[in-house]
A and B are shown apart, each in its own frame.
Chain A
């Protein structure tokens, strides 16, 4: 039982490049989330999904897109990376019946130069 995994762990992009971050969970959780964490700021919600095929915007969605084609996967896309998107990105998931404990992946450290 791997829990929540994220790919890649590290990435350096140049401004304007695109990439996709992959989150996978093997706990059969309905809800999945993408957060970013920056120094001096709390985790901020980018997008989330309450089930396969559904997504919704969080607090800071601009510049990101997401897809949830399979229940176990939640993808975060950056179409045209900007230096302001340099951050640590965490994926999380939870059971629909347990509203408050979110299980986090190990994070992806992204630097945009």
Chain B
């Protein structure tokens, strides 16, 4: 089983739609969770961290479910500029700063 698993997509949604991605992780001792965004042929950039209580940043909401070992990203009112690949990232082992990256979920927003 992969340490971090994501549905590769693509998710094709119209502008204004709400879309959600899930990501599962295998190690229950994982400490920290993030969503990175990667545009086509560009470098990954941190989108947001994911906290146990859930967190929101504008149109983006991230949630963590430790019991089921998954994190989610919800994007409301999708924009064309949201088209990208969203990488689920986990700090897999306690007391280490090494990050484990998922393969990414591709989102395509169309007019």
Contact = CB atoms under 8 A, between A and B. Distances in A.
A43 B43 contact: no
Interface residues of A, number: 20
A77 interface: no
B98 A107 contact: no
20 contacts: A40-B103, A41-B103, A42-B4, A42-B101, A42-B102, A43-B44, A43-B87, A43-B101, A45-B99, A48-B98, A58-B98, A90-B44, A99-B91, A100-B34, A100-B91, A100-B97, A101-B46, A102-B99, A104-B45, A106-B42
Contacts of A45: 98-99
**A31, A94, A104, A107 interface centre (most CB from chain B within 10 Å):** A104
A105 B43 CA distance: 6
A92 B104 CA distance: 18
Contacts of A106: 42-43
A101 B87 CA distance: 13
Contact of B43 (A42, A90, A94): A90
A44 B100 CA distance: 8
A104 B59 CA distance: 24
Contacts of A40: 8, 103
Contacts, number: 44
Contacts of B41: 107
**A90, A99, A106 interface centre (most CB from chain B within 10 Å):** A99
Main secondary structure of the interface of B (DSSP, over half): strand
Given A42-B4, A42-B87, A104 B43 contact: yes
A27 to B, nearest CB: 14
Main secondary structure of the interface of A (DSSP, over half): loop
Interface in B49-82: 49
A11 to B, nearest CB: 16
B46 to A, nearest CB: 5
Contacts of A101: 46
Interface in B84-111: 87, 91, 97-104
A42 B100 contact: yes
